[in-house]
Amino acid sequence: MRRARNAKIIATLGPASSTPEAIESLFLAGADVFRLNFSHGSHDDHKNRIFTIRELEKKVKRPIAILADLQGPKLRVGDFEGGRARLEAGAAFRLDMEDALGTAARAPLHHPEVFAALKPGSELLIDDGKLRLTVESCGADFAETRVVVGGEVSNHKGVNVPGVMLPISPLTEKDRRDLEFAVEMGADWIALSFVQRPSDVQEARRLIGGYVGSRVRILSKLEKPSAIEHLASIIEWSDAVMVARGDLGVECPPETVPILQKRIIKACRRAGKPVVVATQMLDSMVHSPSPTRAEASDVATAVYDGSDAVMLSAETASGEYPIEAVTMMDRIIQQVEHDKNYQIITDASRLDPEHTTRDAISAAARQVAHTLGAAAIVTFTSSGSTTLRAARERPEQPILSVTADIEVARQMALVWGTHSIMAKDVRSFTEMVAKAVHFAQSEGFARVGDRVVITAGVPFGHSGTTNILRVAEVEEHGHQHRHNSD
């Protein structure tokens, strides 16, 4: 079950895709990671999906990653008389903490933290920016605003406060319960919504650290402009990052989102952290069996830019064509990666290695594999760090990530170019070389006469010690000829 591409596909599960048959079909079509969206569905729904994925994993004998996406704080207006009201441009409109039903002149907003952050001149967006208000005066429990862009507003529509750092945690009580459940159920990645500052990621880390034995990784979703101001330190505290373009596009002008996307991808590449591009990638496929040309181009751009993974949301969760959407994404990625310009762009965007032994070895492994025309790079890893370093180099060869740890094997399913393999820890060089050659051959990456480049850390089984590089040749009957190069 090897993929013929490097960029990974994340598929969101939902009403359209939760039966064992549907989940297996999505995996076979190309999904490498399954996202559980905790904004929807009960714990029982998610539990059944996790059980189904783990059963599928046994059947296909491939590690599959589960991404639990926390809802985060949702700022919403309250209820209106008759469920809706029409706001006219130029009219005055009041937001306050009163319980009375909303009208065209005022509405309840039970979020004191929003009022605390407002000042005259602040902008408020309602319903993903469809309505725009400007604050004229405000206090601890009210804001008098002017409607700039009017329209209809209905119960519980979302509120955004662009350009303002809100004094709220990204983890609500619901998120804390969901996080505990996800960790208990063995999710591999936690997606953290509404990240504004590095301390938000640190808070999630502290919480996760309280669950004994949990090594779940944190993927920070960048959906607030304030997060971009703290980009480097948020990346540093996170294990991976998501460009959440839907939310980002509400608070930032749409024309800046492609630029921010490139900037975030580049910063993640520099840090050697996986980066995911998400939201509305093949949006028209929610109701249509084929995407628009612009959408195909959008997915292609994310791949050319060097994303580790691209994500489908409503397309697979509630759309009419979930399998077709994954198949289309798979086809677009393969097409891009076979384009000679893709390799030119990838080579040009390669960064200098850090001044450490492990980065030097990883960079050398890519160079050696390129020079020899090797069939694969095989990394032996206990924590995933050797594999992440190999992926940061964006080699032309596939990366076989060999680990004894099922959690690490699953987590690496999100990482660019990586094919995860479960195997017992090796104890000697001879065993390492034999296993590397065996897996390269048995998994369909190498044939007799091919060479494989191997990186690992000695002593074996210790994390973060990438310090050896070997080249081996695949020979008949599983014998292999070693070329020393450590």
Q: Which helix (H) or strand (E) holds 256?
A: none
Nearest-angstrom CA–CA distance, 34 and 64:
8
What is the per-residue DSSP string for 149-217?
A: E-EEEETT-BEE-TT---S--S--HHHHHHHHHHHHTT-SEEEE-S--SHHHHHHHHHHHHTSTT---E
User: Nearest Cα to 276, choosing from 250, 251, 249, 239?
Assistant: 239
- Among residues 145, 279, 346, 403, the one annotated as catalytic is 279
Q: Give the number of other CB atoms < 10 A from CB of residue 328.
A: 24
Nearest-angstrom CA–CA distance, 402 and 219:
23
- Among residues 47, 76, 130, 215, the one annotated as catalytic is 76
User: Nearest Cα to 303, choosing from 259, 352, 336, 267?
Assistant: 336
* β-sheet bridge partners, residue 34: 11, 66
- Among residues 49, 197, 221, 410, the one annotated as catalytic is 221
- Among residues 3, 8, 35, 62, the one annotated as catalytic is 35
Specify the amino acid at residue 149: V
Catalytic residue check, 331: no
Measured CA distances, 95 to 139, 145, 459 (Å) = 11, 8, 63
| HEC string for 417-437 | CEEEEECCCCCCHHHHHHHHH
Catalytic residue check, 35: yes
Whether residue 330 contacts residue 310, with contact meaning beta carbons closer than 8 Å, is answered with no
Catalytic residue check, 157: no
Catalytic residue positions, numbered: 35, 76, 221, 279
